Chains A and B, each alone.
Chain A
Amino acid sequence: MNSKISVFQFYSILFLTRLLTTLTYIPSYTKEINVSDMIFQTLFRFVFGIIIMLPVFYLQEKYGKETSAQNGIYEKTKAVIFSFVFFYFSVATVARLDLFAGTVVFPETDVKFFLLFVVAFCAYGAFLGLMPIARSAVLSVLPVVLSLVFIVFALVKKIDFLNLSPLFYNGIEPLLKTSLNAVGRTVEYAVIAVFLPFVQGNAKKGFFIWMTVQTFVTAGIFFLEATVLGNFSQMQLFPVFTLASMAEFSFFQGLETIITGVWVLCAFLKISFLLYLQAKLITDAFKVKKTHVLAVLGLLLSAICLFVSGSVERFNLVDTSAIKLILVLVSVPLLSVFEIIKRGVKKCVKQ
């Protein structure tokens, strides 16, 4: 990977891609947890996030300047593992967009054409390269933040503290489970693990700022959801969308269109970026043409998503929390620990 981007560009992409995960979360994964615990679990996931990223930063700190052979078996295996992780998350993102479109936007219309359209555009975005994606993310951050702030102001009047629930009412277990699920849904940890050497600037400081910002933003969204929607949010497929539909400001009513715009923008950047990473990893490891890889990935992604689009049960197959958690845990801390041991042993043998 030769492309390099600045810390701000990198974390701008990650801010938007992680925001997408929050905006599109489905409460069926968090049914056991009370609405107030949802706010609190953001702190737990912050801690879990730091813990699983420790080996990645240690590896970067200790061996960051050393380069390893791109064509080694280990490097190829690593490229395949990460590509699979990114591909799985790409499928999950498109499937979620499909579920949203098919349930909320055009429930009575076949959305298959729309899916193909999105995948084709995202593959094209990935083909254009890293810089356009990074610049688009930087340009998008301000409008996205302003849109969210506008929605927050439009919801303030609807806050009802009687909708809150006592903390840890169902014990700490659902809270830990939900936090771990959230960690599993954060493909950005795997992105950082792969991309860290190619970020110019203080990536460690950027990581802490990104983690803090996304924790606050997520906690803020969950706070509004808890106080405005209360338990009603647990009965909605996409509660953040429902929340936006409750927003009223002057003559503006139902601001869900803004959320839809933010959602599509973030989804486009996320899928494009993940496709770009997959193409780059495979191209570097196996010396194949980027266009060919993107074409194959695009076709594969379209085929799987068209299959998944058929029923909501199939959606569960590609959006399973446990699989996502395993993928993130294997690709981020375990692989990093393995690499630390491998490099340590190699150093000892040399000495």
Chain B
Amino acid sequence: MRKTVVIIACVLMIASIINRDAFKEDISKRTVVQGVGIDLNDDGTYTVTLETINTENYSNADGTASPVMNIRTLSGKTVYSAIKSAYSIDGKTPLMSQNRVIIIGKSLAEKNIIPALDFFIRDAENYPSVLIAMAETSAEDFFKKSTNDSSVVSRNVERIILTAQEDLTVSSISLCELVNRYKDGASSFYMPIMSVEKVGEKANAVSKGTAIFKNGKLSLTLNEPETVCLNFLCNKAKKGAIDISVNGVPAAVSIIKSQTMRKLDYQSDFPRFNIEIKATADLAELSDKTISSITDKDINKIETNAEIKLKSEIQDFCEKIYKVNKTDPVGLSRLIFIYYPEKYRQQKENLNEIMTQSQYNVEVDIKIRRVGQDYSS
């Protein structure tokens, strides 16, 4: 038994020293990166903006404290060389494992973002779950304008993107998802657009719709109502509010649970996509001047109106992205690959063209679960 204990002790010793951050340089010699912004310059070089934690935080004699975060702007021929040049500023190597978001500048988005992402896929310090967003202008501007003394821009962006599960108007995508969508036949993906909004003296990062990419290039931007449709089609809409109108009165339903089923069948050479959305919702508000109680008849009307509204918006959205813009950010073409591999083999060269000829049937079924306190049976 003594020998067994010796063996287990040896293993535990090795296991404890081999964890991800062990054996690395002292943390004081590393710059903890929280966010990365990438812009493409006219000469083909990259400008990388790093938001890093200020580990040498101090208070001045007048009581003012040094900023919590540092924003550094670096340049290089590659993203890696730009990031590594941070060393020359303060002798610290950037630590990428704590990176929360990658913000793509518009200039890069308009060219091709894929080459700039290679470092984040190849380098083991980066996580595949890191979130990706596009800045409305340049990534450098975004970081510099939205920073203030008390908040971490990257953390704010991360929080906003992660609210995509609670807010239908925000889209979200991780590095891993983006690469998978890009490697699909249609080579399309999407990412949220981040902008800076000034409220008084304070500037904050806000989500401003979604950017659609085709072959790595920015192809289309979606506004917030269109982002809601995208979230439903991607089966990412779980919770959030939808504004409708009942007899000319504005109302809001709060989605509690939603499931999107995406099915496919073939009619001659072109696929027909059947999209069924089943959602459960609560009536959150009915802005009626008379403050009348809700009856069962009203519930039916609210359900029908919400269904009609969502259905027509999603149908229009499909028209716009598939038929006009010829992209597939939702990944519906992947269904052809999964369920009709032979058809996919024949059609993969002009998949985007095939998608323009396809039919998109949307069915929405919304059930109102509760109507709040004012209910009359």
Q: Is B183 an interface residue (CB 8 A)?
A: yes
Q: Which of A77-85, A103-111, A306-314 is near enough to bind chain B?
A: A103-111
- Distance to closest chain B CB from A55 (angstroms): 34
- Determine whether the beta carbon of A265 is less than 8 Å from that of B11: yes
- Distance to closest chain A CB from B236 (angstroms): 10
Q: Which residues of A contact B24 (CB under 8 A)?
A: 106, 108-109
Q: Which residues of A contact B334 (CB under 8 A)?
A: 162
Q: Is B14 an interface residue (CB 8 A)?
A: yes
CB-CB nearest in chain B for A113:
B23
CB-CB nearest in chain A for B4:
A135
- Determine whether the beta carbon of A257 is less than 8 Å from that of B7: no
From A121, A132, A163, A229, give the contact of B3 (CB < 8 A). Answer: A132
List residues of chain B with CB under 8 Å of any chain A CB.
Answer: 1, 3-4, 6-8, 10-11, 14-15, 18-20, 22-25, 93, 121, 124-125, 127-129, 176-177, 179-180, 183, 331, 334-335, 337-339, 341
- Determine whether the beta carbon of A229 is less than 8 Å from that of B7: no
- Determine whether the beta carbon of A231 is less than 8 Å from that of B179: yes
Q: Is A17 an interface residue (CB 8 A)?
A: no
Q: Which residues of B contact A104 (CB under 8 A)?
A: 20, 124
CB-CB nearest in chain A for B126:
A245
A/B interface sample: 16 pairs, CB < 8 A: A104-B20, A107-B124, A109-B24, A118-B14, A129-B3, A136-B4, A136-B11, A140-B8, A163-B180, A166-B338, A231-B179, A236-B128, A245-B128, A254-B127, A261-B19, A268-B14
Most chain A beta-carbon neighbours within 10 Å: one of B10, B20, B177, B334: B10
- Distance to closest chain A CB from B164 (angstroms): 14
- Determine whether the beta carbon of A132 is less than 8 Å from that of B124: no
- Distance to closest chain A CB from B100 (angstroms): 11
- Distance to closest chain A CB from B175 (angstroms): 8
Q: Which residues of A contact B3 (CB under 8 A)?
A: 128-129, 131-132
Please, how many angstroms separate the alpha-carbon atoms of A169 and B3 in the complex?
A: 51
Instruction: Give the number of residues in A that approach B within 8 Å (Cβ atoms).
Output: 51
- Distance to closest chain A CB from B176 (angstroms): 5
Q: Which residues of B contact A103 (CB under 8 A)?
A: 124
Please, how many angstroms separate the alpha-carbon atoms of A132 and B2 in the complex?
A: 8
From A124, A128, A235, A246, give the contact of B121 (CB < 8 A). Answer: A235
Question: Which 8 A-B pairs rank lowest in CB-CB distance, beginning with the nearest?
Answer: A132-B3, A166-B341, A135-B4, A261-B15, A104-B124, A230-B180, A264-B15, A128-B3
From A105, A124, A131, A169, give the contact of B20 (CB < 8 A). Answer: A105
- Determine whether the beta carbon of B14 is less than 8 Å from that of A117: yes
Please, how many angstroms separate the alpha-carbon atoms of A103 and B20 in the complex?
A: 11
Please, how many angstroms separate the alpha-carbon atoms of A131 and B338 in the complex?
A: 50
Please, how many angstroms separate the alpha-carbon atoms of A164 and B93 in the complex?
A: 39
Q: Which residues of B contact A125 (CB under 8 A)?
A: 7, 10
Q: A109-B24, A132-B6, A139-B4 are in contact. Are A165 and B11 (CB under 8 A)?
A: no
A108-B24, A162-B331, A257-B19 known; 6 new pairs, CB 8 Å cut-off, are A106-B23, A121-B10, A139-B4, A232-B176, A235-B121, A265-B15
Most chain B beta-carbon neighbours within 10 Å: one of A101, A114, A260: A260
Please, how many angstroms separate the alpha-carbon atoms of A104 and B123 in the complex?
A: 8
Q: Which residues of A contact B127 (CB under 8 A)?
A: 245-246, 254
- Determine whether the beta carbon of B7 is less than 8 Å from that of A272: yes
Q: A104-B124, A257-B20 are in contact. Are A128 and B6 (CB under 8 A)?
A: yes
Chain A contact residues, majority secondary structure:
helix
From B1, B6, B124, B341, give the contact of A169 (CB < 8 A). Answer: B341
- Determine whether the beta carbon of B14 is less than 8 Å from that of A264: yes
Q: Is A242 an interface residue (CB 8 A)?
A: yes
From B4, B11, B93, B183, give the contact of A268 (CB < 8 A). Answer: B11
Most chain B beta-carbon neighbours within 10 Å: one of A135, A162, A256: A162
Q: Is A94 an interface residue (CB 8 A)?
A: no
Q: Is A133 an interface residue (CB 8 A)?
A: yes
Q: Which residues of A contact B10 (CB under 8 A)?
A: 121, 124-125, 268
- Distance to closest chain B CB from A38 (angstroms): 15
Most chain B beta-carbon neighbours within 10 Å: one of A107, A160, A264: A264
From A118, A132, A162, A166, give the contact of B7 (CB < 8 A). Answer: A132
- Distance to closest chain A CB from B289 (angstroms): 44
Please, how many angstroms separate the alpha-carbon atoms of A162 and B128 in the complex?
A: 18
Q: Which residues of A contact B179 (CB under 8 A)?
A: 231-232, 235
Please, how many angstroms separate the alpha-carbon atoms of A53 and B80 in the complex?
A: 50
Q: Which residues of A contact B4 (CB under 8 A)?
A: 131-132, 135-136, 139
Q: Which residues of B contact A169 (CB under 8 A)?
A: 337, 341
Q: Which residues of B contact A269 (CB under 8 A)?
A: 11
Most chain A beta-carbon neighbours within 10 Å: one of B7, B93, B121, B183: B7
Q: Which residues of A contact B337 (CB under 8 A)?
A: 165-166, 169
From B1, B19, B176, give the contact of A260 (CB < 8 A). Answer: B19
- Distance to closest chain B CB from A102 (angstroms): 10
Q: Which residues of A contact B341 (CB under 8 A)?
A: 166, 169
Q: Which residues of A contact B20 (CB under 8 A)?
A: 104-105, 254, 256-257, 260
CB-CB nearest in chain A for B124:
A104
Please, how many angstroms separate the alpha-carbon atoms of A136 and B15 in the complex?
A: 15
- Determine whether the beta carbon of B129 is less than 8 Å from that of A133: no
Please, how many angstroms separate the alpha-carbon atoms of A260 and B11 in the complex?
A: 11
CB-CB nearest in chain A for B16:
A261
- Distance to closest chain B CB from A108 (angstroms): 8
Q: Which residues of A contact B339 (CB under 8 A)?
A: 166
Most chain A beta-carbon neighbours within 10 Å: one of B25, B121, B124, B177: B124
Q: Which residues of A contact B121 (CB under 8 A)?
A: 232, 235
Please, how many angstroms separate the alpha-carbon atoms of A118 and B15 in the complex?
A: 11
